[in-house]
Structures are given as C-alpha cells and as structure tokens.
Chain A
Amino acid sequence: MAEKVNQTQNFLKGIVKDNPVFVMLLGMCPTLGVTSSAFNGLGMGVATMFVLLMSNIVVSLVKSQIPSKVRIPAFIIIIASFVTIVEMVLEAFVPFLYEQLGIFIPLIVVNCLILGRAEAFASKNNILSSIVDALGMGLGFVVALTVLGATREILGSGSIFEFKFVAEDANTFILFILPPGAFIALAYLTVLFNKISIKTT
C-alpha cells in the first residue's frame, strides 16, 4: 500500500509541486519557441514526453553498466538516439507539425528537463519509479505547453486548436503570437500558477 502511495506522489509531483516549466524553469527554449498555438504546444509536449519516457527507461536499465565518469556523454547519446527517431517519425507521418516545430525538434536533445531527469532520477532509481517519474514530469510539461499555447492562440488569433471563435476580420492581440507575447504570457501564467499552488498546499 505504501508503495502505491509513493508512486502516486511520484507521479503527481511533476504536474504540480515540481512542474518543469512553471516551477523548475527547465526546457524554456521550446516552451517559448513553439507555443504560438495550442496544437504546436501539444505536439512539442508529446514529442518531449516520449523522449523523456524512453530515455528514463533505458538509463535506469543500464545505470549499473555505465562508469560514473562518462555517464553524461552516455546519457546524451541515449537521448540523441531517441530524438533522431522522433525526428524521422514526425517527418514521415506529421510533416505539417515537423515544419512548424522546425529547429526545435533536434534541440530536444539539449532540453535540460530530459538530461536533468536522467541524471537526478533515472540513474538512481528502479525502472518502475523511473517510468512513473517520466510520465508525471512529461505530463506536467505537456500541460504547461498546451496551456501556454492555448492562451497565446486565444489572445493572439482568437481561436483554439484552429477553431476560430471570432469574426475573420476581428482585431486580436497579435502581440501574443509574436515573440514578445511568449515571454509576457508565460510571466503572467507563472504568477497565476504560483497563486493557485500556494492556495492548494
């Protein structure tokens, strides 16, 4: 029973208490770079979550085989292999998303969230905990990117997941789909997130 409670906590910490974007500020480049729409945010979130899950699994499986001095380069190779897989799969099956995300797909390699979890969690814990940790952290990242993308899309283009709810020629806050809007939207979402998480705990 205690084991089960631990895993639930392990899962939930990534979404609220240690949310990778709003609390730990990891992986800021894709967070700001691709969230001009909710769909892009979701796509990037899912791609990152997949890489995080697979790298956490592999790292926790081979952790005892890797000498500690070369562990960082070894982790980077493991991560880079999965990023290459994601890159190929996206190019083949979702070319639209592949073009939208562009340079940020190969850059999943240097997302500090993934290397951070490999180093801080998967290299010290068993495979089950590592999977749960990756799912929780990954989901936290997906939620954060989708919320940020949706906020920017609603304000900036007056639509949500491409569904337009204002007139074609209506004036929207175009600023929010431009680069400065990313910083400003994230700033206020962080304030909101802190407010809510302080209230609940």
Chain B
Amino acid sequence: MDYIIILIAAVFVNNIVLSQFLGICPFLGVSSKVSTSVGMSGAVLFVMTLATMVTYLLHEFVLVPAGLDYLRTITFILVIAALVQMVEIILKKVSPPLYQALGVFLPLITTNCAVLGVAILALGLDGGSLLKAVFFAVSNSIGFGLALIVFASIREHLELANIPEGMKGVPINLLVAGLLSLAFLGFTGLV
C-alpha cells in the first residue's frame, strides 16, 4: 500500500516538475520534440534510479556512521557526476544502440537538479529503506517523463498556432507549463 501511495504521489500529486520545480532546465530545454523528450526521460530514469541507490547506501553506511552528514551536498554531487561519466563509458562499450539513444542527454543530466533533489529527498522518506528510496526514484522519474512528454506534445502543436508577437518563444512555453501545472493541481488530495 505504501508503495502505491508513493507512486501516485510522485507521478500526479507532487509531480517533480510541475509542483516541486525540480528539473525545469531540461523540461524547458529538450521539450521541443516528442522523440527527444522520450530519450531524455529514459536517461533520467536510468541515472536517477542508479544515483539514488548509490547515494542512499553511501549516506547510510559511510556518512552517518562517520558523522560526516554535513558533507552530504559535496559527496552527492560528486557521486552523481562520476556516475554519469561511468554510465556513459559503460553504455558505449556494452550497448551501442542504447548509447546512441541516450548518449547526448547523459552529460546534461549532471546539472539536472531533479537527480540531486530526488537523492536528497529520498533520505527523508518515512521508515526509509533502500527499496523504498529506489522505488521513490523510479516513481519520480516516471513523473518527470510524463510531464516532459505531455509538454513536448503540446509544444509540437504550438508550432502551428498563431501567437502574439511579444509572447513568442519563452513566455508562451512558460504559460503552457503553468496551465499544465494547473491541471496537475486537480490531483491534490488524491492521497
């Protein structure tokens, strides 16, 4: 039951992009085509799950026992940066097709605050365990993917729309994101 609540809360109610404002840069940056946004979502799913798993273990078994909790931010960002590099190198060798699909997005993920944000938020879960933290990361990356793909599909239609001169570009995208966020607000109170 706990897990179902985590999933619904992360995907709909507290959507990581539309209500917690994490990962806005890729949300606005790589959402002009549906195909690229699918690739980005896949890469985020991969890295976020792996990063949360590693940082959770590191926090639980190294930082806390050693009393170095205050080094959390520095350690986590280093781990994430190293992990992204490693994933890139391994993918290139092991699975070239997957590397082709995700390759360009991987370097961008280091500065995706959703990854660091979820790694930190996962530490604060009630009755946290490794499994729960990993599940939390998977749920959040599904939420990220949903928001990104829906937004990209709207933007593809927007290309053909007649937009007032001053609203072209960034403002209209922000406005669409606002309306999307308003729609997700409707899920409030679901869990």
Contact = CB atoms under 8 A, between A and B. Distances in A.
Contact of B77 (A29, A87, A110, A194): A110
A84 B71 contact: yes
B73 A87 contact: yes
B21 A187 contact: no
A81 B77 CA distance: 11
Contacts of B116: 106-107, 109-110
Contacts of A81: 74
A183 B22 CA distance: 13
B113 A183 contact: no
Nearest to A186: B174
Given A25-B170, A191-B171, A107 B78 contact: no
Nearest to A105: B73
Interface string A131-143: 0000000000000
Given A33-B21, A106-B72, A112-B25, A194 B166 contact: yes
B111 A110 contact: yes
Interface string B155-191: 0000000000011001111110111011001000000
Contacts of A59: none
Interface in A79-102: 80-81, 83-84, 87-88
Contacts of A29: 21-25, 113
A80 B73 contact: yes
B86 interface: no
A178 B73 contact: no
B81 interface: yes
Contacts of A66: none
Contacts of A32: 21, 24
Contacts of A30: 21
Interface string B62-78: 00000000111110111
A180 interface: yes
Given A25-B28, A80-B73, A191 B167 contact: yes
B166 A180 contact: no
Contact of B178 (A80, A107, A184, A195): A184
Contacts of B101: none
B21 A182 contact: yes
Given A84-B74, A179-B21, A186-B174, A103 B121 contact: yes
A145 to B, nearest CB: 13
A109 B73 CA distance: 8
B74 to A, nearest CB: 4
Contacts of A178: 185
B117 interface: yes
Interface string B88-111: 000000000000000000000011
B18 interface: yes
Interface of B: 18-25, 28, 70-74, 76-78, 81, 110-113, 116-117, 120-121, 166-167, 170-175, 177-179, 181-182, 185
Given A84-B74, A183-B178, 11 more contacts: A29-B22, A33-B21, A72-B81, A84-B70, A84-B73, A87-B70, A106-B116, A110-B111, A179-B18, A183-B181, A190-B171
